[in-house]
Amino acid sequence: MSGSSVLYDVPGPRARARNLILGVLAGAGLLGLLWYVYRSLDDANQFSAAMWDPFLYKNVQERILTGLLDTLRAFATAAVLSLVFGALLAAGRLSDHKPVRAVCTAVVQFFRAMPLLIMIFALYQSLFTTAPFWGLVIGLTLYNGSVQAEIIRSGINAVPRGQGEAGYALGLRKSQVMGTVLVPQAVRSMLPAIIGQLVVTLKDTSLGLIITFPELLYVGKWIASNSSTPDGYPYIPVTIVIGSIYIILCLLLTALAKWIEGRSRRGANRRTSAAA
Amino acid sequence: MGRLFENGNLALFRDGFLQTVEISALSALFALLLGTLLAAFRVSPVPVLRVFGTVWVNLFRNTPLTVLFFAVTFGLPRLGVHFASTTLAVIALSAYTASFVCEVLRAGINTVPVGQAEAARSLGMTFGQTLTQVVLPQAGRTVLGPMSSVFIALPRNSAIAGAFSVSELYHFQQTMTDLGYGIFLIFFWVALAYLFLSACVALFFRFLETRLAVAR
Amino acid sequence: MRTRRTIAAALSVLALTAVAACGKEAAPASDTTAKLPTYTVKTDAKVEGSKTFDEAKKRGKLIIGAKADQPFLGFENVASGTREGFDIEIAKMVAADLGFGPDKIEFKTIVSANRETSISNGQIDYYVGTYSITPARKEKVSFAGPYYVAGQDLLVLKDKAEYTGPESIKGKKVCSATGSTSVKQIEKFAPVMPVTQYDTYAACVEKLLSDEIDAVTTDDAILKGFAAKNPGKLKVVGKTFSQEPYGIGVSKDDAAFQKAVAAALKAHEDNGDWKKAYDATLGLSGAAAPEIPALTN
């Protein structure tokens, strides 16, 4: 259903007038709020040339670019590793052996409950003091891998039972049923959720800031705290610039997910929502 | 094991735990209210509100929470709004989580059979009545699963507040590390606290599921 | 919708690269660099029996740990990407005596929590960055110095006359760096609890400038730098309540290297370079050069 249209009647003249008034009022309120925000920031000289000046320097632009590349590098590595780790855990959770199932369930539940920040900090302090990149990537892998495992598992469980049973009836072994019957069918329905979780992975690379990995947000903080202007430090301009870059990256990934979803709409479409 | 809790460190741990609970609980409450409102906006007949809801969700779902914390911590004072750092943390967490709540609710609204809304309309119910008395109560049951993962994520996400001057569990972990205690020992206790919290949230949602379950 | 989004994204990426292609270079810092002393590089420098020195020679450059966010002390200039400040000058004058010119030095930003580790595992050759000599640290690393004695102080808005020393902080909001010893020190003077803590002092200063807190507290040397960066707005109260002797951190099991660094420090203190470096950096805050402390390590 198209979401909205079923919930209310096609508006008649009075409802249209009411909706229009509501819309105008809400619009005016929102514009007023935006105007207030703009004015306050302007009064605090947040739009002064000095505040935005750092971004004009070649050195700063290069640093943002290398920060962006470092973010993407951490994201790509963590994405691949978390999918591998997730697939292994999912296989373990679907295993016929009870101990394997129990261990994998415990691992998944533990890492899903643990704040990424706590884990990354602990990894960094204990093993990766000199290699924050790996502290970040392994932290991301453990957490996102556990979430991916759940997505993969529920995707496989969502394939109609008859499919697997037919495979067994043909005399296929479990690995064959998995590899040739269940996984190929499940992948299609899982992809949107998997990519949704990859968006989370991408956003969480920003935690590298805490362990001095020079990713995008770390660079942003460096710019903000090392550029004093007559009106304080350019935290707001930096947040706007760096935030926009993150939003664009995430929207690109989401657009990819939508595109894949559109291509695979024919298949069963049980989705597991990505955790925040 | 006990060595970590010498010199009043136990009190620090307790305070940190309570602070985590406090900001998570407050953020959960506000996120639920705000998220429901946003979901109503997104399905409402007023285009301006629909646009507002859509922009909000796309903005906050795609921004790293840490960036949001920066925006709130350094942005609001420049708007003339002055709050304590715990309040700022609650604002950032609620705004962020509300966008997830909104999306879960919207997906839930879409799963309610079309006939339900049609029946409500044929009885002459308005949009507000249809939504609050017929659709949302039914959507509520189906969204419990995805909603529980959003709210289990909340205490986890609240750890970022520790980097923005809130003395919660991450702050405890940092302080103890600075004092030179073994990181594994600290991690053990902090991990235990978070496991406990997420178990509580999960149990709460399981309880809700059994209470609200209806034969269909 | 989809195409529009893609186009928007493509445009923004284009915009970013276009901007990156035509960024401006940093204007040469006119008056300050002119006053900075230059140090004659010793060509025949030799440190007998020092592993650190031999490795640096083999590598062809010296790797020095420093801070990047302390103005006029250890600071990385955003516009030019160069390092500047008093600590950086100290690092350079010692390097010159070890036979390494400015082009043979690589600075690495090391945050406070990682100093001991990075020194003892050889990630850096030595560390210069508001590094207080304490008994606890001496168990893990060796020090050459002190080359400067700082003390904890308060940074407040210039027009606030009521702040006269640590006692006046009672019931006020104070900010410092997360987990620093400064937090524990100031807590004794009963400020509003808990003390506001961020991981950079710039965040504290921003909060001070936007009137969210009443004072920033840490070593006066660091505060002087921030006061100089925000002229006419901030002032250092000037009543220290702790002693922080800054030293150069070197590996614990390289006594020969520690001696060489200490000797280099002494030579440049005696020939006036120390004073010149101070005047060109921290001295810009208006505070006159303090007495050079006697070397004890």
Least confident span in A238-252, B53-67, C137-151:
C137-151
Chain C partners within 8 Å of A227 (Cβ): 78
Nearest residue of A to residue B44 by CA position?
A4
**Which chains share 3+ C-beta pairs under 8 angstroms with A?**
B, C
The Cα–Cα gap between C66 and C61 comes to 16
Residues of chain B under the 70 pLDDT cut: 1-2, 213-216
Tokens linked to B65: 């929470």
Flag if C26 and A63 touch (Cβ within 8 Å). no
Least confident span in A264-273, B10-19, C153-162, C211-220:
A264-273
Question: What pLDDT is attached to residue A120?
Answer: 92
- b/e A179-191 (16+ beta carbons within 10 angstroms → b): eebbbebbebbbb
Find the helix packing angle between A235-263 and A183-204, rounded to 10°: 170
Nearest residue of B to residue A251 by CA position?
B62
Flag if B178 and C113 touch (Cβ within 8 Å). yes
The Cα–Cα gap between B12 and B167 comes to 9
Q: DSSP assignment of C186-222, as one string?
A: HHTT--SSSPEEESSHHHHHHHHHTTS-SEEEEEHHH
Quick one: which of C41, C23, C240, C245 has its CA closest to C149?
C245
> Is residue C103 very low, low, confident or very high in pLDDT (cuts 50, 70, 90)?
confident
Question: Which of B74, B78, B175 minimises the CB distance to C179?
Answer: B175
Return the higher-pLDDT residue of C93 and A130: C93
- Residue A8 CA: distances (Å) to CA of A19, A112, A164, B45, B126: 12, 40, 43, 7, 7
Flag if C178 and B174 touch (Cβ within 8 Å). yes
A33 vs B: CB within 8 A: no
Specify if A154 maps to a domain.
yes
Delimit the domains of chain C by residue range.
51-149+245-285, 152-237
Long-range contacts formed by C187-196: CB under 8 A, 24+ apart: C194/B165, C194/B167, C196/B85, C196/B165
- Provide mean pLDDT across the span A218-234: 88
Question: Which of C175, C198, C210 minimises the CB distance to B77?
Answer: C210
A250 vs B: CB within 8 A: yes
Tokens linked to A6: 């079923």
Flag if B43 and A125 touch (Cβ within 8 Å). no
- Residue C161 CA: distances (Å) to CA of B213, C90, C158, C286: 66, 35, 8, 18
Instruction: Note the pTM of the prediction, 2 decimals.
Output: 0.85
Task: Give residue-wise pLDDT tens across range B91-103.
Answer: 999 999 999 999 9
The Cα–Cα gap between B17 and C260 comes to 50
β-bridge partners, C66 = C109
Q: DSSP assignment of C32-54, as one string?
A: HHHHS---PPPTT---TT-HHHH
Tabulate helix, strand, coil % of chain C (nearest 5).
40, 20, 40
Flag if A235 and B74 touch (Cβ within 8 Å). yes
The Cα–Cα gap between A105 and A128 comes to 27
- Whether the per-residue pLDDT at C32 is higher than 60: the answer is no
Q: Is residue B27 exposed (0-12), middle (13-18) or buried (19+ Cβ within 10 Å)? A: buried
Flag if B178 and C199 touch (Cβ within 8 Å). no
> Is residue A156 very low, low, confident or very high in pLDDT (cuts 50, 70, 90)?
confident
Specify if A255 maps to a domain.
no
Phi/psi at C281 (5° precision):
-125, -95
A255 vs B: CB within 8 A: no
Size of interface B-C (CB pairs under 8 A): 30
Flag if A15 and B45 touch (Cβ within 8 Å). yes
- Whether the per-residue pLDDT at A269 is higher than 50: the answer is no
Question: What pLDDT is attached to residue A2?
Answer: 43
Chain C partners within 8 Å of A210 (Cβ): 199
Specify the 3-state DSSP secondary structure of C239.
Answer: coil
**What spatial distance separates the first Cα and last Cα of chain C, rounded to whole Å?**
68
- Whether the per-residue pLDDT at C18 is higher than 60: the answer is no
ipTM confidence: 0.85
- Provide mean pLDDT across the span C37-64: 83
Quick one: which of A215, A132, A120 has its CA closest to B170?
A120
- Whether the per-residue pLDDT at A107 is higher than 70: the answer is yes
Q: DSSP assignment of C57-91, as one string?
A: HHHTSEEEEE-SEETTTEEE-TTT--EESHHHHHH
Nearest residue of A to residue C227 by CA position?
A228
> How far is A181 from chain B, CA to nearest CA, in Å?
28
Flag if A7 and B131 touch (Cβ within 8 Å). yes
Q: What kind and span of H or E run contains A198? A: helix A183-204
Nearest residue of A to residue C109 by CA position?
A212
Over chain A, what is the mean pLDDT?
Answer: 86
Question: What pLDDT is attached to residue A262?
Answer: 77
Flag if C198 and B165 touch (Cβ within 8 Å). yes
- Look at the block and give the residue holding tokens 């010159």: C96
- Provide mean pLDDT across the span C88-94: 90
Split into its structural domains, chain A has a count of 1
Task: Give residue-wise pLDDT tens across range A4-55.
Answer: 467 777 778 888 888 889 889 999 999 999 999 999 888 888 888 888 888 8
Specify if A103 maps to a domain.
yes
Flag if A225 and C202 touch (Cβ within 8 Å). yes
The Cα–Cα gap between A240 and B157 comes to 22
Q: What is C51-149+245-285's CATH number?
A: 3.40.190.10
Least confident span in A109-113, B3-7, B111-115, C258-262:
B3-7
Flag if C80 and A130 touch (Cβ within 8 Å). no
> Is residue A181 very low, low, confident or very high in pLDDT (cuts 50, 70, 90)?
confident
- Whether the per-residue pLDDT at A273 is higher than 80: the answer is no
- Sign, CA torsion C103/C289/C131/A234: negative
Flag if C207 and B77 touch (Cβ within 8 Å). yes
Question: What pLDDT is attached to residue C10?
Answer: 55
Percentage above 70 pLDDT, chain A = 93
Provide the H-helix boundaries in chain B. 9-42, 47-61, 65-70, 85-111, 114-122, 127-129, 136-157, 169-178, 183-212
Q: Supply angle C-alpha B71, C194, B81, rounded to 5.
A: 35
| Under 8 Å between Cβ of A164 and A105 | no
The Cα–Cα gap between C240 and C246 comes to 15
| Whole-number CA gyration radius for chain A | 24
- Provide mean pLDDT across the span C2-7: 53
Task: Give residue-wise pLDDT tens across range A36-49.
Answer: 999 988 888 888 88
- Whether the per-residue pLDDT at A3 is higher than 50: the answer is no
| Under 8 Å between Cβ of C101 and C39 | no
Q: Supply angle C-alpha C192, C197, C203, rounded to 5.
A: 115
Question: Which of B96, B130, B194 minimises the CB distance to A8?
Answer: B130
Return the higher-pLDDT residue of B85 and A262: B85
Flag if C79 and A224 touch (Cβ within 8 Å). no
**Interface of chain C toward chain B, CB-CB under 8 angstroms:** 113, 175, 178-179, 194, 196-199, 203, 206-207, 210-212
Quick one: which of A104, A197, A105, A114 has its CA closest to A151?
A197
Specify if A4 maps to a domain.
no
Q: What kind and span of H or E run contains C142? A: strand C142-150
Nearest residue of C to residue B83 by CA position?
C212
> How far is A93 from chain B, CA to nearest CA, in Å?
19
A30 vs B: CB within 8 A: yes
- Provide mean pLDDT across the span A239-261: 88
Chain B partners within 8 Å of A206 (Cβ): 64, 66-67
> How far is C194 from chain B, CA to nearest CA, in Å?
8
> Is residue A161 very low, low, confident or very high in pLDDT (cuts 50, 70, 90)?
confident
The Cα–Cα gap between C170 and A156 comes to 62
> How far is A168 from chain C, CA to nearest CA, in Å?
43
| Under 8 Å between Cβ of A31 and A24 | no
The Cα–Cα gap between A44 and A232 comes to 9
| Under 8 Å between Cβ of A223 and A237 | no
The Cα–Cα gap between B91 and C137 comes to 40
Question: Which of B165, B177, B178 minimises the CB distance to C196?
Answer: B165
Flag if A203 and B47 touch (Cβ within 8 Å). no
Return the higher-pLDDT residue of C41 and B171: B171
The Cα–Cα gap between C107 and C128 comes to 10
Return the higher-pLDDT residue of C233 and A274: C233
Whether CATH 3.40.190.10 fits C152-237:
yes
Q: What kind and span of H or E run contains A73? A: helix A58-93
> How far is C177 from chain B, CA to nearest CA, in Å?
10
> How far is A113 from chain C, CA to nearest CA, in Å?
26
Nearest residue of B to residue C174 by CA position?
B165
Q: How far is CA C229 from the centre of its chain?
A: 14
- Whether the per-residue pLDDT at C277 is higher than 60: the answer is yes
Question: What pLDDT is attached to residue A185?
Answer: 84
Question: What pLDDT is attached to residue A272?
Answer: 47
Question: What pLDDT is attached to residue B96?
Answer: 95
The Cα–Cα gap between A235 and A233 comes to 6
The Cα–Cα gap between B152 and B194 comes to 10
The domain that contains A201 carries what CATH number? 1.10.3720.10
Quick one: which of C61, C97, C46 has its CA closest to C264?
C97
**Which chains share 3+ C-beta pairs under 8 angstroms with B?**
A, C
Specify the 3-state DSSP secondary structure of C153.
Answer: strand
- Whether the per-residue pLDDT at A1 is higher than 50: the answer is no
Question: What pLDDT is attached to residue C19?
Answer: 55
Question: What pLDDT is attached to residue A5?
Answer: 61
Domain that holds residue A88: 68-215
Specify the 3-state DSSP secondary structure of C126.
Answer: strand
